[in-house]
Amino acid sequence: SQQGEEDPQALSIQEGENATMNCSYKTSINNLQWYRQNSGRGLVHLILIRSNEREKHSGRLRVTLDTSKKSSSLLITASRAADTASYFCATLEKLVFGKGTKLTVNP
């Protein structure tokens, strides 16, 4: 069964806006990772956040983790058309990926 569940399933925004995607998981974890998948391609690692971290930044990406709620969020600021892709959270202790959020950034 899927442990990571992203929300929303699809998101459409205008270039320059911020995009927020959420992920919920079921069991205790030591860390959580986010990946990106361009259409028809393999997944590419974006960022890892450990269970003792609450927030982490990487360029225009901001990830938060709330272990009490078993949830994480990925924020992409000042989105660009090139950010159009599907985004997945993953708990790699369990080798489980969520179903993904499909983000469309309109120019």
Partner 1 sequence: NAGVTQTPKFQVLKTGQSMTLQCAQDMNHNSMYWYRQDPGMGLRLIYYSASEGTTDKGEVPNGYNVSRLNKREFSLRLESAAPSQTSVYFCASRPFGTSTDTQYFGPGTRLTVL
Residues that bind partner 1 (CB under 8 A): 1-2, 4, 9, 29-31, 33, 35, 40-45, 48, 50, 88, 90-93, 95-100
Residue 15 or 22 having the CB closest to partner 1: 22
Residue 19 or 97 having the CB closest to partner 1: 97
Residue 15 or 71 having the CB closest to partner 1: 71
Letter for the amino acid at 93?
Answer: E
If DSSP codes are grouped into helix, strand and coil, which group holds residue 10? strand
Dihedral sign, Cα of residue 10, residue 38, residue 77, residue 49: positive
Residue 95 buriedness (CB in 10 A; 0-12 / 13-18 / 19+): exposed
Residue 18 or 30 having the CB closest to partner 1: 30
Q: How far is the CB of 55 from partner 1 (least distance, A)?
A: 18
Spatial separation of the C-alpha atoms in residues 61 and 28, rounded to whole Å: 24
Q: How far is the CB of 15 from partner 1 (least distance, A)?
A: 27
Spatial separation of the C-alpha atoms in residues 94 and 41, rounded to whole Å: 23
Q: How far is the CB of 92 from partner 1 (least distance, A)?
A: 5
